[in-house]
Amino acid sequence: VALVGGGPGDPELITVQGKRLLAHADVVVADRLAPRELLEDLPAHVEVVDAAKIPYGRAATQEFINQTLIDRAKEGKFVVRLKGGDPYVFGRGFEELLACAEAGIPVTVVPGVTSAFGVPALAGVPVTHRGVAHEVVVVSGHVAPDDPRSLVDWSAIARLKGTVVLMMAVERAGAFAAALMEGRPGSTPVAVIQEGSTASQRVFRSTLDSLAADMEKWEVRPPAIIVVGPVAGIASANS
Ligand SMILES: C[S@@+](CC[C@H](N)C(=O)[O-])C[C@H]1O[C@@H](n2cnc3c(N)ncnc32)[C@H](O)[C@@H]1O
């Protein structure tokens, strides 16, 4: 099994190694956010298991994916698990590696361009910039700031001066903005990038105190990256 990071969506943003392994696959198990255009180039004999089309919800889906990787590999097939971005950035890639390892199946990991950094770059937002931001933190918005399951120290994140990249945060953008405003001014610049690197990419600029209302107005839908911090306020010719 090869766990391949496919990058944020543009089929040209997969690595050379990822593309080479994909060309040798007997089976491709593709994520919803993987670069879908790459699937169109696969030879007809390649079995494509499309995770976007697997029913029964998230947990059952992960179990099904793990089992599919194991079953096909045990049949002697070379399986490429094509994931969006980087396999280990909120991608559950390590869970898949552990499941394969437990079943005695060797796994090759091919890192990918994570949307956390690649998507802002394509929208003209550098996640660090000399003299502006000397730190960048990537935070999952999968659970709300006040959720007891949260593993994020929001009071520490709110005190940062640099860049905070929020992923999976569209639904609760207002709650995250409020948590960040406990430590940062409401005027802190924010950039929101929806479907980065694809033909449907949309880029918006806001501030922490207007973020929730602006995102509602713009009807931002996942997948989107929210970049908070002074880097989001730097204008350049291509942003
Ligand atoms: C489950 S995480 C997977 C992240 C992936 N492993 C990576 O490294 O990019 C999904 C989140 O990634 C972000 N994302 C992925 N692809 C994106 C894209 N093309 N444009 C904007 N955000 C994207 C969104 O925040 C989305 O909710």
pLDDT digits 0-9 by tens, 61-119: 889 999 999 999 999 999 999 999 999 999 999 999 999 999 999 999 999 999 999 99
Quote the pLDDT of residue 182. 98
Reported as a pLDDT band with limits 50, 70 and 90, residue 5 is very high
Rg, Å, the chain Cα set: 19
Reported as a pLDDT band with limits 50, 70 and 90, residue 53 is confident
Quote the pLDDT of residue 59. 61
Quote the pLDDT of residue 229. 98
How much distance in Å is there from the Cα of 115 to the middle of ligand 1?
Answer: 5
Respond yes or no: is residue 146 known to be catalytic.
Answer: no
**């790459």: which residue's tokens?**
38
* DSSP 8-class letter at 7: B
- The neighbouring-strand residues paired with 224 are 194
- Smallest CA-to-CA distance from 48 within 40, 59, 56 is with 40
Say what the pTM is. Answer: 0.96
Query: Is 193's C-beta closer than 6 angstroms to any atom of ligand 1?
Result: yes
Query: Is 174's C-beta closer than 6 angstroms to any atom of ligand 1?
Result: no
Reported as a pLDDT band with limits 50, 70 and 90, residue 51 is confident
Angstrom distances, CA of residue 230 to CA of 1, 125, 141, 185, 227: 41, 10, 20, 11, 9
How much distance in Å is there from the Cα of 93 to the middle of ligand 1?
Answer: 14
